Amino acid sequence: MEDRQSLRSNIRKRRAQQEPAWCETNSRLISQHLAASHVYQRAQRIAFYLAQGNEADLGLLLQNAWAAHKEVYLPILGLRYSGQLWFVPCAEDTPLYKNRFGIDEPVHAPHTRRTKLRNLDLILMPLVAFDQRGNRLGMGGGFYDKTLASLQTTSHHWSRPKRIGIAYAFQGVEALQGQTWDVPLDAIVTEQGLHWFTRGTE
């Protein structure tokens, strides 16, 4: 099995090579699959992300969510060195600023950082690779793992929030070596559609 680091860099390289028009077409398909899904339609509080580089871009779905009066949240960096994310509300007209990694974050009131994960219905997360069992490989910072770790210890069923990975189909691999701290996905959406992972009792 390819090690995590070279797999990360190979898939990131391949993604970086895609033409903007290809990314746009497939990102649109991904947004359409989600928009048509029961899980999205039922969700009222949804954590999105803003695509970096050639990551699958949920911009269209974001517009749809605001139009449908859903509550949109975006991740911001938590306390320095915590490696955690906080999800803060973001309206269509909320101004953005750049965090220390140059990634846009919504301007927000400090008390809104206390949004409880359990109150979110759906977390849509970017990734570098996913496998057939729902293991997720991120950029290497473990941000989503650290952020969602508390859910893992407090619930067996994880009914909420649903964790859905967003990627192009070529980011799928046969099997990833899941680490003990890796928080798996409930489902993946690619340009080919939405797929739920089935897992045994956890």
Ligand X SMILES: Nc1ncnc2c1ncn2[C@@H]1O[C@H](COP(=O)(O)OP(=O)(O)O)[C@@H](O)[C@H]1O
**Binding residues vs ligand X (CB under 6 A):** 137-142, 145-146, 149, 179, 181-182
User: Which residue matches tokens 């919504």?
Assistant: 106
And the tokens for 155? 């619930």
CB of 78 to ligand X, least distance (A): 12
How far apart CA 169 and CA 180 sit, in angstroms, is 25
CB of 60 to ligand X, least distance (A): 26
**Does the protein bind Mg ion through residue 105 (CB under 5 A)?**
no
Q: Which does 82 bind (CB under 5 to 8 A by kind): ligand X, Mg ion, none?
A: none
Q: Which does 140 bind (CB under 5 to 8 A by kind): Mg ion, ligand X, none?
A: ligand X
Residue whose CB is less far from ligand X, 12 or 146: 146
Residue whose CB is less far from ligand X, 94 or 152: 152
H helix and E strand count, the chain = 5, 12
Instruction: Name 71's Cβ contacts closer than 8 Å, sequence gap at least 6.
Output: 44, 45, 46, 89
**Does the protein bind Mg ion through residue 182 (CB under 5 A)?**
yes
**Selection from 4, 12, 1 nearest residue 179 by Cα:** 4
Q: Which does 35 bind (CB under 5 to 8 A by kind): ligand X, Mg ion, none?
A: none
Q: In this structure, are residues 148 and 93 in contact, taking their beta carbons and an 8 Å threshold?
A: no
How far apart CA 72 and CA 149 sit, in angstroms, is 22
Residue whose CB is less far from ligand X, 130 or 168: 130
